[in-house]
Amino acid sequence: MAKTKKAWFCQSCGTQHPQWMGQCKSCHAWNTLVEEVLERESAPTSWADPQAGLERAKAMPLSEVDRHAEQRHATGDAELDRVLGGGLVPGSIVLLGGEPGIGKSTLLLQIALGLGEKVLYVSGEESAQQIRMRAERVGLQGKGCHVLAETSTAKILQSAEQLKPSVLIVDSIQTAHNPQLDSAAGSVSQIREATAEFLRYAKARHVPVILVGHITKDGHLAGPKVLEHMVDVVLQFEGDRHHLFRMLRALKNRFGSTQELGIYQMHGHGLQGVANPSGLLLGQREEGLSGSAVGIPSEGMQPLLVEVQALVSSAVYGTPQRACTGFDTRRLNMLLAVLEKRCGFRLGAKDVFLNVTGGLRVEDPALDLAVCAAILSSNADIPIPSGMAFAAEVGLGGEIRPVHRIEQRINEAGKLGFDHVFCARQNGVNAGTMQGVQVVPVRRMEDLVTALFG
């Protein structure tokens, strides 16, 4: 009988242990170790063979490396190309993560159909008929798009070898499995092995490979952490399923910035890139309501105008509630503490709810000032005059801190008809008009309170 090598893997962090233990040594999670087959002695050589292609390995001076070899492959989708940093790099692996139903399969099928080149779209989750129905729904012809409903990595790569596609798409890595390994599809060793096989294929054939990755309950990519180390680009597709907008971000990008944000809208006939998100986001804004303020976060190079809504009311139960959508709850608690301690607002006994409209999740701290303004406005029940926007970070001392790219933010506000922008005094912009916008530099939280409510 063939000898097999086995080890124990933590299903939560992917650490390998030589024997079973109750608690993982690395992440300290309990009862997460599962025995998995590492390799079989009788494994035949194939793409799965790490030795394959070794004869090509030869060190060379960096200056002799062909710089032009890495021509980017534009996908034709302006948002995706921007997030990738200009298109797919040949021989790279892109991992696209996201919650179920967010639109990963739709996005990739649209790319496959829109490329107009030979693309192999492999699905382990849907049948060829289902893919065809989806293609008809998004209304694209896609002459060069070939589909394959398969989960075995050997068969997928065999078919790729025959077809020689210019892009390979695998939906999803959790369904791909190597029959040589005993463990079930989706387990740590299967995911790692399957990714390694696609990686070897990508590097050997200079073909970009896009993998779909599932996401766990707590929002991390399912599978071992090494998966994220192995791939070149990790993209995350996020947004509220009940909202129109879907956001595409790069969490890791070996070939570009991780700052860019792509915004899509889900229609009845597929996903569509949104060219003017600020206009759409502010379109549904109601004027004259207290608790609403407009912030100017900048995700990547493009500043956005978003509406922040706050509701401050007396807590009915003992412990006041704090809830956020689209903003970090810990950051909200910090801002509330600053307002309480530095400005004397009694918010400790109040429920505070915060909402960034449009289903957007904002990470830029430049939204802080708008969040504070919305809270103060709701607390005092005085609306903020329309035409005012805010772009600054708030420090623990109650000081208003500068943010980058302030001119671009002010410009964007001006384009959308705003006439006042509050920013930090240290931002280096002087009070006065800039592109028709009145710039109001503030130094401390108290200055904002005086400017808004007198």
Residues forming the site for Mg ion (CB under 5 A): 105
Out of ligand TYD, Mg ion, none, what residue 138 binds, judged by CB under 5 to 8 A for its kind, is ligand TYD
Per CB under 6 A, does 134 bind ligand TYD? Answer: yes
Per CB under 6 A, does 219 bind ligand TYD? Answer: no
Q: Which is nearer to ligand TYD, 269 or 443 (CB)?
A: 269
Pick out residues in 137-166 that bind ligand TYD (CB under 6 A): 137-138
Report the distance separating Cα 207 and Cα 74, nearest Å.
13
Pick out residues in 30-89 that bind ligand TYD (CB under 6 A): none
Taking CB atoms within 8 Å and a gap of at least 24, the contacts of 243-246 are 243/358, 243/359, 244/358, 244/359, 245/274, 245/277, 245/358, 245/359, 245/360, 246/102, 246/103, 246/271
Q: Which is nearer to Mg ion, 33 or 94 (CB)?
A: 94
Q: Which is nearer to Mg ion, 105 or 355 (CB)?
A: 105
Per CB under 6 A, does 132 bind ligand TYD? Answer: no
Per CB under 6 A, does 269 bind ligand TYD? Answer: yes
Determine the interface stretch with ligand TYD among 16-24, 68-76, 102-110, 369-377 (rule: CB under 6 A). Answer: 102-110
288 token code pair? 């004259």
Q: How far is CA 168 from CA 178, 208, 236, 274, in A?
A: 18, 6, 19, 26
Residue 260 DSSP one-character state:
-
Out of ligand TYD, Mg ion, none, what residue 102 binds, judged by CB under 5 to 8 A for its kind, is ligand TYD
Task: Please check whether residue 85 is in contact with residue 260, taking contact to mean a CB–CB distance below 8 angstroms.
Answer: yes
Per CB under 6 A, does 266 bind ligand TYD? Answer: yes
Q: 294 pairs with which residues across the strands? A: 307, 389
DSSP string, 186-240: TSHHHHHHHHHHHHHHHHHHT--EEEEE-B-TTSSBSS-THHHHHSSEEEEEE--
Q: Which is nearer to ligand TYD, 266 or 449 (CB)?
A: 266
Per CB under 6 A, does 105 bind ligand TYD? Answer: yes
Q: Which is nearer to ligand TYD, 46 or 265 (CB)?
A: 265
How near is the Cβ of 121 to Mg ion at its closest, in Å?
A: 12
Report the distance separating Cα 339 and Cα 337, nearest Å.
5
Per CB under 6 A, does 214 bind ligand TYD? Answer: no
Q: 325 pairs with which residues across the strands? A: 355
**142, 133, 74, 169 alpha-carbon torsion, rounded to 10°:** -110
Per CB under 6 A, does 208 bind ligand TYD? Answer: no
Per CB under 6 A, does 100 bind ligand TYD? Answer: yes
Report the distance separating Cα 131 and Cα 122, nearest Å.
10
Q: Which is nearer to ligand TYD, 107 or 366 (CB)?
A: 107
Q: Which is nearer to ligand TYD, 100 or 385 (CB)?
A: 100
Question: Contact residues for ligand TYD (CB under 6 A)?
Answer: 98, 100-106, 134, 137-138, 266, 268-270
